């Protein structure tokens, strides 16, 4: 490895470490800051399917944070452990995001008054898109390679090979959320034209629109990062996205 490549690798590794450390700090600060509200809004409520899905989304993020901490502390020459940790991180990210999107899909179904067409159409659409997403992720992980860190004998993981096919996962997410946005916007527009100021508009505009706008922007950023940036930066925003999802669902239930 020449000096320029080594310098770029070290910079990328540091960026990943700083961003992940910041996300972990935000995650734990927010958890303790909002713990009383979470106990009141979530834990004190009756157990149901939506609550179980929320808890899966919420606490898979902490598992993901634990894996990230492990990645940041792995000795530079333990590159096999880096590969295992990275794959586990990717799985937890896709799992948490998938559960979160399932909650949004249920909300879209409710907004449409439990439309019989959407009753079957949405589950089929969800399974098709997320099955494709898991397939793309599996192909990406099968090509993933790590080598001894350029920071060796210090700590951190250094990816030497990744498959840019992972950008298709973000394209699929863009497509899925665009469809969900349209499905939520249609009844909202009808309610607005009729002069309605119901809970429907609050759900769609406060929760739905901002949520989808955020995911649209972050998906575009991740596509660019995947195609243009160093391999180490592939999942740089994964923990942040996971935290946003669980924070959004906690807020929307309050």
Question: Within 13 A of 111's CA, how many CA atoms are on the CB side?
Answer: 29
pLDDT of residue 206: 62
Residue of higher predicted confidence among 137 and 153: 137
Mean pLDDT, to the nearest integer, of 225-229?
67
- Class of CATH domain 3-252: mainly alpha
Residue of higher predicted confidence among 223 and 240: 223
Q: Kindly indicate the confidence band of residue 120, based on its pLDDT and cuts at 50, 70 and 90.
A: very high
pLDDT of residue 243: 55
Q: Kindly indicate the confidence band of residue 133, based on its pLDDT and cuts at 50, 70 and 90.
A: confident
How far is residue 212's CA from residue 219's CA, in Å, rounded to a whole number? 10
- Is the pLDDT reported for residue 180 higher than 90? no
How far is residue 200's CA from residue 203's CA, in Å, rounded to a whole number? 5
What residue ranges in 91-223 does DSSP mark as E strands? 145-146, 159-161
Long-range contacts of 216-220, Cβ-Cβ distance < 8 Å, separation of 24 or more: 216/174, 216/177, 216/178, 219/170, 219/171, 219/173, 219/174, 219/177, 220/170, 220/174
Of 84-98, 105-119, 166-180, 236-250, the one with minimum mean pLDDT is 236-250
pLDDT of residue 128: 94
Mean pLDDT, to the nearest integer, of 77-90?
77
pLDDT of residue 117: 92
How far is residue 28's CA from residue 252's CA, in Å, rounded to a whole number? 20
């Amino acid at each position: 490895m020449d000096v320029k490549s080594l310098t770029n690798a070290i910079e990328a590794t540091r960026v990943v470490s700083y961003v992940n450390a910041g996300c972990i700090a935000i995650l734990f600060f927010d958890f303790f800051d909002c713990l009383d509200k979470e106990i009141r809004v979530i834990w004190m409520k009756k157990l149901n399917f939506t609550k179980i899905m929320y808890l899966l989304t919420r606490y898979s993020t902490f598992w993901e944070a634990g894996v990230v901490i492990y990645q940041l502390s792995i000795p530079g020459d333990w590159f096999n452990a880096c590969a295992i940790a990275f794959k586990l991180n990717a799985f937890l990210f896709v799992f948490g995001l998938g559960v979160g999107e399932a909650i949004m899909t249920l909300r879209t179904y409710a907004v449409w008054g439990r439309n019989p067409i959407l009753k079957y159409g949405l589950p089929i659409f969800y399974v098709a898109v997320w099955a494709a997403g898991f397939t793309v992720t599996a192909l990406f992980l099968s090509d993933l390679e790590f080598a001894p860190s350029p920071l060796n004998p210090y700590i951190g993981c250094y990816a030497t090979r990744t498959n840019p096919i992972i950008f298709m996962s973000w394209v699929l997410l863009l497509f899925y959320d665009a469809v969900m946005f349209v499905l939520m916007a249609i009844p909202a527009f009808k309610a607005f034209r009729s002069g309605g100021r119901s809970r429907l508009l609050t759900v769609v505009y406060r929760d739905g629109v901002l949520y989808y706008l955020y995911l649209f922007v972050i998906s575009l950023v991740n596509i660019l990062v995947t195609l243009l940036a160093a391999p180490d930066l592939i999942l740089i925003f994964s923990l942040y996205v996971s935290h946003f999802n669980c924070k959004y669902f906690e807020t929307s239930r309050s």
